[in-house]
Structures are given as structure tokens and as C-alpha cells.
Amino acid sequence: MSDNILEVTDANFQSEVLDSDVPVIVDFWAAWCGPCRMVGPIVEEIAQDQAGKVKVAKLNVDENRETATKYGIMSIPTILLFEKGSIAKQVVGAMPKSALIQELGLA
């Protein structure tokens, strides 16, 4: 995982994501998920491109079921953009970098 990406868990989700002063992109994923592996490098590129503007995090849904359940994650990959502790944008499924940036409002 890239230095620009934070691994979040059920234990630190509140402090790292909900209490963050900057917007946070959270990639909900699992190791067995093929589309998640396709999106992973795109998320890493976004983390590098947006360094200092947004925080980028990944949450493994198999290891952190409480948070995944709380946010109703039914399909992965799901990417949520949090601003001031609330979901601002939601993207479900794999897509090209340009489409993901547009969907998240980062363009």
C-alpha cells in the first residue's frame, strides 16, 4: 500500500475519517475482490494526485464488518467521500480514473 494511503479499521474509523479536518476518500474493499484489485492502483494514483487536499483510506470489509455494515456496504468496491463526518459522495463498482475523479467531484 502506498505511503499516501491510510489503512482504517473499525477501531480508528471515527478518529481518522469522521473527525478529519479534510475530506476523506474511503475505499471499501476485500482481498478476494477482482474489481477491487482493478480500482486499487487508481485509488493510489488519486492519493498521490490529491495529497494535501484530501486524505485517502482503505477499509478491508472482511476484517472490519462493523463499519461496513454501518454504512450499508453491499457491493465492493464502494468508495465513499466523507466531508465533516458525513457521506458527501458514493461510488459503487470499478471505473476508469477519469470517471472516478468526476464522480467524486475532484476534477
> From the candidates 33, 61, 79, 94, which is the catalytic residue?
33
> From the candidates 36, 43, 81, 100, which is the catalytic residue?
36
Residue type, 83: E
The answer to whether the beta carbons of residues 61 and 26 sit under 8 Å apart is: no
- For residue 44, give its domain range: 5-104
Instruction: Give the CATH number for residue 93.
Output: 3.40.30.10
**36 catalytically annotated:** yes
Q: What number of other Cβ atoms are within 10 A of residue 81's Cβ?
A: 19
**4 catalytically annotated:** no
CA distance 64 to 47: 22
Q: Residue 1: its pLDDT value, please?
A: 61
In this predicted structure, the answer to whether residue 4 has a pLDDT above a threshold of 90 is no
In this predicted structure, the answer to whether residue 83 has a pLDDT above a threshold of 90 is yes
* Backbone φ/ψ region at 105: left (φ over 0), alpha (ψ -120 to 50), beta: left
Residue type, 71: Y
Q: Residue 88: its pLDDT value, please?
A: 97
In tens, the pLDDT along 13-23 reads 999 999 999 99
In tens, the pLDDT along 27-73 reads 999 999 999 999 999 999 999 999 999 999 999 999 999 999 999 99
Q: Residue 3: its pLDDT value, please?
A: 82
Residue with cell 457521506: 87
Number of domains in the chain: 1
The answer to whether the beta carbons of residues 90 and 105 sit under 8 Å apart is: no
